[in-house]
Structure 1
């Protein structure tokens, strides 16, 4: 009987160890991010995984639009994710629809729009509003994104500059790839996108941010989906992305870390 009792105690201790401390019960966190935060996230995830037993699976898509790989399109096909990272206005729409949990939004970074040309090409002056306008008019072809920055350019900035008609002939919205990639191929002369989406692309020269008077600063935010697999793990990841530890990598990617207080 003592042997049986001893075996039972040993078995209980073993099972308790497995269930409560074994890393085999780490969560898999599925994250989808829009392009502005993509490079930062790609560099941050390995650092997060060094300090956590959780595993992060990254997918990519634009914040808005109807392209097959956009975040709205992928969610409409019932693809499952735990955390969304995208432009704050787009995230708010998912919160309103119930796809993302109310109260889970965390503003991670601020992002601004910049411009680039093919590496080695002449760099137009875009430092003032008149110079930017002239650069747009002089360019034989202009590329802009199908996401937040491109929507602002085509619906607000071009009309504000009085060049919407001209841009309708020379400017093109880019779906499902980075504007920088299009510029590097030589398929467009001048390209505009979030700075963090332009600077990592090989084969382009970043020429600067658009002037402050016409700049649009967009917050990119994280939210937890309503069908999340692990609430605790998802909060843990977001807390890391919003922490001072992540700030240097975020700054290197061309973004401004916000270091927000967490809502939970």
Structure 2
């Protein structure tokens, strides 16, 4: 009886060891994954990705750019494994054969806010009309440059046209490459008011932020997809699963993003 118990215990231990070995990728299985993501996710990904690397054994190299730049780089054939763009850009890249069909997953979305320097008078942006008056009264404004291809710049340029403000504010408006630079310019006192994405308030100190009103609000939506040229498809898919996990969603929400 004792011999059978010892033998059973040894068998269980051996089986448990096999499970452990199977759960942790061997050096031969570990992959190097290239990820391209939007600039606004710089506030979240550096803290999240090491968790994935530790649990999976894979290594992630991240590049940040505007959504337009990411799309352009994929169209031109840059070798990546996972790319985050807008839903429309993801669809177009699938049609061009640059992203794998069926690999799309929504990661997060982020709304737009009005930035002023911390301690400055609070602007009234509770309605579209109030927002227009606040922008017309501002001595200096900073917005994203739509020519850079960033979601914030493209949207705010369209919003200014729709509100009939583009010509009136042009002489007082400074254009910068990204939404993060909008927030930084306001925090440094280089502009009185700016419009950028809400998540930038979490990484740029010295700001007060107020959401755009209904009728002017919109969201930048980020979806991930696996590159058709990826040689690490399984690892790339595992990364996307991780980015949609409860832990990732919690980190995103803590930094001003909304998740599906």
Residues 35 and 21 of structure 1: CA distance in aligned 2, closer, same or farther (over 3 Å) = closer
Match of 2:233 among 214, 231, 234: 231
**Contact kept? 1:127, 1:210, Cα under 8 Å:** yes
- Write the distance in 2 (CA, Å) between the matches of 1:88 and 1:118: 33
Whole-Å separation in 2 of the counterparts to 1:244 and 1:108: 11
Who is 1:130 aligned against? 129
- Give secondary structure in 1 for the equivalent of 2:120: coil
Match of 2:107 in 1: 108
> Given the alignment, which residue of 57, 63, 69 partners 1:53?
57
What's the C-alpha RMSD, in Å, of the aligned pairs? 2.2
Structure 2 equivalent of residue 184 of structure 1: 187
> Post-superposition shift, 1:237?
0.6
Unaligned runs of 5+ in 1: 1-16, 65-69, 259-264
- Deviation per residue, 1:196-248 (Å, 9 max, x gap): 13331123x13211012221123210011111120000000100111122111
Distance 1:23 1:242 in 2: 26
Superposed counterparts of 1:92-241, under 5 Å: 92-146=91-145, 147-155=150-158, 157-175=159-177, 178-203=181-206, 205-241=207-243
Q: If the length of structure 1 is used for normalisation, what is the TM-score?
A: 0.80
Contact map agreement 2:113 2:211 (CA 8 A) in 1: yes
Q: How far is 1:72 from its partner?
A: 3.5
